[in-house]
Structure 1
Amino acid sequence: MVITPDIIVVLCVLVVVILLFVFDWVRVDVVGIMVLVGLPLLGLVTPQQAVSGLSSNAVVSIIAVIIIGAGLDKTGVMNHLARIILRIAGKREKRITAMISGTVALISGFMQNIGAAALFMPAARRIAVHTGIPAGRILLPMAFCAIIGGTLTLVGSSPLIMLNDLLVIGGIKNKPFGIFSMTPIGIMLVVAAMLYFAVLGKKILPDGKQQDVGGPLSPLLDKTYHNVGDIYEMYIPAEGFKENTLIGLQIRANYACTVVASYNHITHKRIVAPLPEDLLCPGDSLAVVGDEVYVKKMAADLGWSYSDELKVFADDLSQSNAGIMEGIVTPRSRLVGKTLGSFQFRHKYGVTPLAIFVGHEMIISDLSNQTVAEGNALLLHGKWSSFHRLKEQNDLVFTEPVRGEVVREDKALWALGCLAISLFMILVLNIQLSIALFFGALGMILGQVLSIDEAYQSVDWMTVFLLAGLIPLGIAFENTGAAKLIAVTLMNVLGVPSPTLLLFGIAILTSFFTLFTSNVGATVLLVPLGINLALSCGCDPRAAALTVALAASNTFILPTHQVNALIMRPAGLKSVDYLRAGIGMTVLFLLVLVGGMRLLFL
């Protein structure tokens, strides 16, 4: 083939894109927009092709699946999933990473990997907050395994879905692959990836900033209310304690500590902001906020034990679910002139007063009898959903934004139903991915799981524009003939290779193309090429075709794959993070893939 000026230009564009990704000179979505605008100006694609990425099946599917994931998160479904994972895996990073990555990989074998990753991302982010593990250390292995999970079955990825249609050898369609023909190799790849992160995770995963899971106060409030203390769990022994109420124990009066949650070991009921008249029994647990000196004294006096690590209340009082807020009493507040006890914060709003700041004095003990005046500051503990309800009353002005959101648990079954219908449409009715997923997203909105504004806000537009810009770059490679030129040149260099070298060459070439072009485009181009070369080398052409389809999932070095792009912002990742973790994963993928093909198909 002849090297044309257009081929030279598109290769230069590719080099510039790689440099921008690697050195992070501008944000990745800006790179995508630059490509989207630059390619038609250079005459490499038509204006229609340049904007085609915005309406592509992949990009539209991402928008829809993010909305579905947001709906599931809004109803608390993902919080329950996170709780189950934490109950099984604890707070150990390797176990959490392996469990999430393995589950997502399995699901990716039967649905599009972007869908599996997007649905699990809210739960993974919640787990990061619960455990203090940087989100990138969970989400990056999850993303890689979601991509690799597409190799588990014939319906796991687009290249494998279309593989049988490309098996034309000498004008005759060859024996098709079964749905589980590639499963042994897919399992090898998934296991290899999980071992890769288990062994080298600390060296290759981004350090990030560990989530703060320490005391209950924000840095701002800690400067003012440092005497309030931290949060501790207290355990009442099964013997030696007589039943008593919270008010009967006089914990605040005697120890300057506040009970913010209780757990009944018989009913297994956890209550945030328990009432003063609630009964405590032997074997129950409490969460208290106070200075460790007083907590220690209380434990010694009452014969209880305590811990500064939350176990019983790890989920209920995690930073994603509950915390402490400071509220200033407004001039027209109903609190003015009343005592704190008469306002019944626990009964009405499910929040617990910890302290009141009057002038320059902070009061912790005897809060119930304190008369509230305009301008007083109250320190309150409770669930974020309770603070959102309290904020609507306009009795207090909070000094910091209220975290979290109101969870619509009553819509959980509806949200799960929308997801189930979308999956049924994809897997059984064979409806196009984007249409089926948008049907589910629409169901979330019509069912009032999400408002339309919340749906818009949930979409990560950085991901959308990154992928929308890279799709026309792949089209430009095909339009100019650059893709075919590179493929033919490499195959000519290989000459008449051995079967192992042939498979390596095919796998490397496919891996390169899928970084910048669509995996479908790379498969369409390289399967016929691989088949013809395999015939000339006396190698099984079906093995060469399958190698191409599987190697199309070997795309880890840059955030150009839709799954990698999806997690980039939530995980706080940069292009160099993909490069550091992706180089080793790419090499390992090639070795396991070719080794598996040699073992099972040649």
Structure 2
Amino acid sequence: MPITPDIILVLAVLLLVVIFFVFEWVRVDMVGIMVMVSLPLLGLVTPQQAISGLSSNAVVSIIAVIIIGAGLDKTGVMNKLAQFILKFAGHDEKKITSMVSATVAGISGFMQNIGAAALFMPAARRISIQTGVPASHILLPMAFCAIIGGTLTLVGSSPLILLNDLLTVRGVSYEHFGMFSMTPIGIILVISALLYFNLFGRWILPYSKPGKARGPLSPLLDQTYHNVGDIYEMIIPANGFNEQCLSELRIRSDYACSVLASYNPVTHKRNVAPRPEDTLCPGDTIAVIGEEIFIKRLADDFGWTYSHELKVFADDLGPTNSGIMEGIVSPRSQLVGRTVAEIQLRKKYGVVPLAVFSGHEMIISDLSDLVVSEGTALLLHGKWSVFHQLKDQNDLVFTEPVRGEPMREEKALWALGCLLVSLFMILVLDIQLSISLLFGAMAMILGRVLTIDEAYRSVDWMTVFLLAGLIPLGLAFENTGAAKMIADMLMNAVGVPSSTVLLICIGLLTSFFTLFTSNVGATVLLVPLSMNLALSCGTDPRVAAMTVALAASNTFILPTHQVNALVMRPAGLKAVDYLRAGAGMTVIFMIVLVAGMQVFF
């Protein structure tokens, strides 16, 4: 096939895209927009094709599934999922990465990988905040495993879904593959990816400093209240302690510490912001904030044990759900002229007073009899949802923006129902992915899980425009004949190879095309070509076709795949990060794929 001016132009555009990705002269979404505009101006695609990415099934699905994920996060479902993972993985980075990645890979085997990744992303980000593990160290392995998870079943990815419809060559229809024909290879690929990140993660993942979970104080407040301390869990032994109320224990006055919460293992009752008259019982676990020297003294005096790691209260007092705010008493506040004890902050507002700053004096140890005046600063610990309510009452003016958003936990079942209905429409009713997910997103909004404005704000528009711009680039490759020319040149170069060399060539060619074109387009183009070549070489054409369908998931070295693009901004990744981590993964994928095809087929 002759090289035409259009082919030269589309290859030049591709080269420029790669250069922009590597050197990051402009943001990646701007690269997508530049491609979207330049291709029709160069006559490589029609104007309709240039903007077709904005309405493509993939892009619309991403928008919808992000909204569904935001709804699940808003109702606390993703927080529960994060706590479940942390229960088994603790704060160990490798365990967290492996559990998240393996779970997403398993789900990707039965639904579109972009959907699995988008649904898990809020939980992964919450885990990052609570454990201090950099988000990139969780999200990048998760993205790669979401892509690889598509190789587990016949419905795991679009190329595999299409595969049986393409098994006809030279007028002969070949036996169709079963639902789990490729599962052994898919499992080995997932395990290989998990081992890859466990063994080499410290070298291939972005060079982020080891994360540190946010302490109870923000950097700004820490300058003033640096001696408030940290949160510890303390366990009261079942023997040797008599039931007593908090006021009798004099924990604040004698140890400059504050009890934030208690948990009784017998009744399973949780008491956040317990009142002075509330009792502590033998066997209770309590959360206490204070300096470690006082925490140790408290533990020694009462015979309690303590730990800096939150286990019982990881959810209630984790940084995603609660924290410390400084409130300044406003001139017309109802709190003016009353003592801290009279205000009853724990009972009425559900917050724990930690310190008072009045004039140039900070008081921590005994606050009960302190009279509050205009301008007094109160340091309070509580749930973000409580602080959002306090913010609207005009008694206190907070010195920092209130983190988090009010949760709508009462809508959790509705949110889960929306997700399940969408999955039912996809897997059972065989309704198009974008329509099914849009239905779920619409139901979230109509069910008041999210407002329409919250839904719009949840969408990462950088990802949308990046993908919308790359889709017409794939069309340009097909329109100009560049894709066919490259495939023909490679196949002519290898002549009549052995079956192993043939599979390697097919895998490399498919991997190359899926970096820049749609995996569906690459599959439709290369399956007939590879089957014909396999017949000429005396190799089973079904093996060649399966190699194409599986190799279409070998796309890791650029952020051009939907899943890679999805996590790019939340993880703070750059194009070079994909190259560093993806190069090794690409080689491992090829080795496992070719070896697996030889063994299992």
TM-score, normalised by the number of residues in structure 1: 0.98
Q: Report the AA paired with residue 239 of structure 1.
A: N
Q: Report the AA paired with residue 554 of structure 1.
A: N
Q: Which blocks of at least 5 consecutive residues in structure 2 are unaligned?
A: none
Matches within 5 A, 1:228-307: 228-307=228-307
2:338 corresponds to? 338
Ranges of 4+ aligned residues in structure 1 off by more than 6 Å? none
CA distance in 1, matches of 2:402, 2:183: 47
2:535 corresponds to? 535
2:425 corresponds to? 425
Secondary structure of 1:144 counterpart: helix
Deviation at 1:345, TM superposition (A): 1.4
Moved more, 260-269 or 144-153: 260-269
CA distance in 2, matches of 1:326, 1:353: 10
RMSD: 1.1
Matches within 5 A, 1:290-329: 290-329=290-329
Q: Is this contact kept in 1: 2:113–2:157, CA < 8 A?
A: yes
Q: Report the AA paired with residue 31 of structure 1.
A: V
Q: Report the AA paired with residue 329 of structure 1.
A: V
Deviation at 1:572, TM superposition (A): 1.0
1:167 corresponds to? 167
2:465 corresponds to? 465
2:519 corresponds to? 519
Moved more, 174-183 or 62-71: 174-183
Matches within 5 A, 1:150-189: 150-189=150-189
Q: Is this contact kept in 2: 1:272–1:383, CA < 8 A?
A: no
CA distance in 1, matches of 2:87, 2:340: 38
- Give CA-to-partner distance per residue, 1:6-54, whole Å, 9 cap, x none: 1111101111111111122211111111111111111111111110000
Deviation at 1:421, TM superposition (A): 0.3
Moved more, 207-216 or 141-150: 207-216
Secondary structure of 1:224 counterpart: coil
Deviation at 1:369, TM superposition (A): 1.7
Deviation at 1:291, TM superposition (A): 2.0
2:149 corresponds to? 149
Q: Is this contact kept in 2: 1:134–1:207, CA < 8 A?
A: no
Moved more, 572-581 or 362-371: 362-371
- Give CA-to-partner distance per residue, 1:315-366, whole Å, 9 cap, x none: 2211111110111111111111222222221112211011111111111133
Deviation at 1:209, TM superposition (A): 4.6
- Give CA-to-partner distance per residue, 1:223-270, whole Å, 9 cap, x none: 101122222222212211111001111111111111111121212333
- Give CA-to-partner distance per residue, 1:186-235, whole Å, 9 cap, x none: 11111111111111111111232544325311111011011222222222
Moved more, 587-596 or 364-373: 364-373
Q: Is this contact kept in 2: 1:500–1:594, CA < 8 A?
A: yes
Deviation at 1:395, TM superposition (A): 1.1
CA distance in 1, matches of 2:147, 2:308: 39
- Give CA-to-partner distance per residue, 1:369-425, whole Å, 9 cap, x none: 211111111100011111111112111111111111111111000000000000000
- Give CA-to-partner distance per residue, 1:518-575, whole Å, 9 cap, x none: 0000001100110110011000001001100110000000010000111111111111
CA distance in 1, matches of 2:121, 2:416: 16
Moved more, 126-135 or 228-237: 228-237
Secondary structure of 2:368 counterpart: helix
1:575 corresponds to? 575
Secondary structure of 1:226 counterpart: coil
Secondary structure of 1:573 counterpart: coil
1:489 corresponds to? 489
CA distance in 2, matches of 1:523, 1:303: 68
Secondary structure of 1:333 counterpart: coil
Secondary structure of 1:369 counterpart: coil
Q: Report the AA paired with residue 517 of structure 1.
A: T
Q: Is this contact kept in 1: 2:169–2:531, CA < 8 A?
A: yes
Secondary structure of 2:535 counterpart: helix
Secondary structure of 2:423 counterpart: helix
Matched, 1:224 2:224: yes
Moved more, 251-260 or 442-451: 251-260
CA distance in 2, matches of 1:486, 1:24: 27
Deviation at 1:91, TM superposition (A): 1.5
CA distance in 2, matches of 1:341, 1:564: 54
1:553 corresponds to? 553
Q: Is this contact kept in 2: 1:511–1:551, CA < 8 A?
A: yes
CA distance in 2, matches of 1:202, 1:210: 10
Q: Is this contact kept in 1: 2:83–2:314, CA < 8 A?
A: no
Secondary structure of 2:380 counterpart: strand
Moved more, 347-356 or 550-559: 347-356
CA distance in 1, matches of 2:228, 2:160: 59
CA distance in 2, matches of 1:391, 1:398: 7
2:213 corresponds to? 213
Query: Equivalent pairs: percent with the same residue?
Result: 75
Matched, 1:438 2:475: no
1:61 corresponds to? 61
1:33 corresponds to? 33
2:18 corresponds to? 18
2:414 corresponds to? 414
CA distance in 2, matches of 1:291, 1:595: 58
Q: Report the AA paired with residue 224 of structure 1.
A: T
- Give CA-to-partner distance per residue, 1:83-103, whole Å, 9 cap, x none: 111111221111111111111
CA distance in 2, matches of 1:209, 1:25: 25
- Give CA-to-partner distance per residue, 1:265-299, whole Å, 9 cap, x none: 21233322111111111111221122222222222
2:138 corresponds to? 138
Deviation at 1:510, TM superposition (A): 0.2
User: Aligned in 2, Cα 1:111/1:194: closer, same or farther, shift over 3 Å?
Assistant: same
Q: Which blocks of at least 5 consecutive residues in structure 1 are unaligned?
A: none
Deviation at 1:121, TM superposition (A): 0.8
CA distance in 2, matches of 1:109, 1:449: 28
Secondary structure of 1:247 counterpart: helix
1:8 corresponds to? 8
Secondary structure of 1:283 counterpart: coil
Q: Report the AA paired with residue 168 of structure 1.
A: T
CA distance in 2, matches of 1:403, 1:215: 14
CA distance in 1, matches of 2:377, 2:335: 12
Secondary structure of 1:262 counterpart: strand
Q: Report the AA paired with residue 57 of structure 1.
A: N
1:400 corresponds to? 400
CA distance in 2, matches of 1:209, 1:76: 29
Moved more, 130-139 or 511-520: 130-139
Q: Is this contact kept in 2: 1:137–1:207, CA < 8 A?
A: no
Secondary structure of 2:431 counterpart: coil
Q: Report the AA paired with residue 399 of structure 1.
A: T
Secondary structure of 1:332 counterpart: coil
Secondary structure of 2:277 counterpart: coil
Secondary structure of 2:2 counterpart: coil
Q: Is this contact kept in 2: 1:139–1:571, CA < 8 A?
A: yes
User: Aligned in 2, Cα 1:157/1:214: closer, same or farther, shift over 3 Å?
Assistant: closer
TM-score, normalised by the number of residues in structure 2: 0.98
CA distance in 1, matches of 2:413, 2:157: 29
Secondary structure of 1:162 counterpart: helix
Q: Is this contact kept in 1: 2:229–2:290, CA < 8 A?
A: yes
CA distance in 1, matches of 2:151, 2:471: 22
Aligned length, in residue pairs: 601
Q: Is this contact kept in 2: 1:244–1:280, CA < 8 A?
A: yes
Q: Report the AA paired with residue 191 of structure 2.
A: V
CA distance in 1, matches of 2:579, 2:273: 47
Moved more, 557-566 or 333-342: 333-342
